[in-house]
Structure 1
């Protein structure tokens, strides 16, 4: 059994903390609100698309059940993800509010 020398081990490099870009609170708020609005718009479009395909299937306008089910499942997963993200954000907010300054 061969053991390597401790001296041959490399030390981990330290990440520089000076690489953070300074963003003003107003810019950060704008970026966050834009991202949130885009996510909600995407979720809404999934819901609308699912409703339209479901109604078209019920009326007999389309015959592709697989496509309707895939669209409905995509909409359902997007909604579940949004609800879970909302829950995590509320938990994080609650935790921050409990902190003592």
Structure 2
């Protein structure tokens, strides 16, 4: 006979929530805000800078994992997934910008 499972959420501690950073939100890791001018070039440049920082952190943790210096493999897995998602976001942003430019170029003058 099986016993019913009592509330699992009561047995597990609440996980901390991380702030979601977007184009117009403040960057929680560096404390820097998004560019005040809001033009596309500055938003794209800041996105590339954040992408580079995320990938650098992931690479550093990968190096630690390869040398055996990493204490918690979860840190590397989280950083690797963040870098992957950030790369996908920047590539999608670039693709949408190219699509928009192509549509503008097709407009009759």
Superposition RMSD on alpha carbons, in Å?
Answer: 1.5
Structure 2 residues not aligned, in runs of 5+ = 1-36
Select the structure of larger CA radius of gyration. 1
Which whole-Å CA distance do the structure 2 matches of 1:33 and 1:95 have between them? 19
Q: Answer yes or no: is 1:62 the counterpart of 2:70.
A: yes
Give the TM-score, by structure 1 length.
Answer: 0.67
Structure (1/2) with the larger helix percentage: 1
Deviation at 1:71, TM superposition (A): 0.3
Which whole-Å CA distance do the structure 2 matches of 1:69 and 1:92 have between them? 34
Deviation at 1:68, TM superposition (A): 0.4
Corresponding residue for residue 85 of structure 1: 93
Give the TM-score, by structure 2 length.
Answer: 0.62
Structure 1 residues not aligned, in runs of 5+ = 1-27
Corresponding residue for residue 53 of structure 2: 45
Deviation at 1:37, TM superposition (A): 1.6
